[in-house]
Amino acid sequence: MSSAWESLLSTYQSQLDNGDKRTDPWLLVYSPAPVAIIFLLYLSMVWAGPRLMKHREPFDLRVALIVYNFAMVGLSVYMFYEFLVTSLLSNYSYLCQPVDYSNSPLAMRMARVCWWFFFSKVIELSDTLFFILRKKNNQVTFLHVYHHGTMIFNWWLGVKYVAGGQSFFNAMGNSFVHIVMYSYYGLAALGPHMQKYLWWKRYLTSLQLVQFGVFLVHTGHNLLVECDFPNAMNMLLFGYCVTLIILFSNFYYQSYLNKKKKK
């Protein structure tokens, strides 16, 4: 038993030491333990938050939501710009791109924006906190919790092992979608008078579905051709995109098509 445990620890340690040496010293990267703790705290908040708020009045977070959402727009614009410009300057292939593990300025620039993308997923857990504090518990769905909770692990793996290369494509696409999404939420937070300008919420969900479809095709292509990028990462992303397409399609159907039928 002791030998098996030592072997397991040795394998675990070798996997940690096998990561990208450039990103290992960065915040939350070297070990999965901090991310696992954040995830457990997140699940605890999802479980305990609504219970603690049950007999309390919802918080008025209008100002905080305006600042938060437009700050996330700014961060998403920055990340989209960095992914796009760095990939173009590096002559990245948009079909198959190995990771450049060198310390060249462009390789480090790409690694840094990959870290920021990962860290943005930690920041986005605040979305759930705001829903709970405002007693919008109907928004804290399985889809919402699953998507937010799993993205931090997916991108911990990304920045730990493949900070650059092919992984930039999905992060860049998602950054663009989040520019649109947080713009919508920021405008909605300005007050009820903005609702007449926010008729395009349905199309925001459509845009999210389109991005997952593009990622699925893009990743599927990389699984079928010779590409010097870890197949394990491609397979993980492919399977993850399938789950998101199923969940978001169900959300779209229930929110728009099924409601129209009932009307």
* Cα(176)–Cα(75) distance, integer angstroms: 11
Catalytic (active site) residue 144? no
**Residue closest to 190 by CA, chosen among 53, 72, 68, 75:** 68
Show the DSSP H helices in 25-141 as ranges: 33-53, 62-89, 105-123, 126-133
- DSSP code at position 196: G
The dihedral through the CA atoms of 129, 130, 135, 136 has a sign that is negative
**Residue closest to 31 by CA, chosen among 43, 15, 44:** 15
The residue to which tokens 């993205």 are assigned: 151
* Cα(54)–Cα(56) distance, integer angstroms: 6
The dihedral through the CA atoms of 164, 170, 176, 180 has a sign that is negative
Element (DSSP H or E) covering residue 165: none
**Residue closest to 93 by CA, chosen among 227, 258, 216, 244:** 227
Selecting among 55, 144, 147, 221, the annotated active-site residue is 147
Contact 121, 171 (CB under 8 A): no
What are the catalytic residues?
147
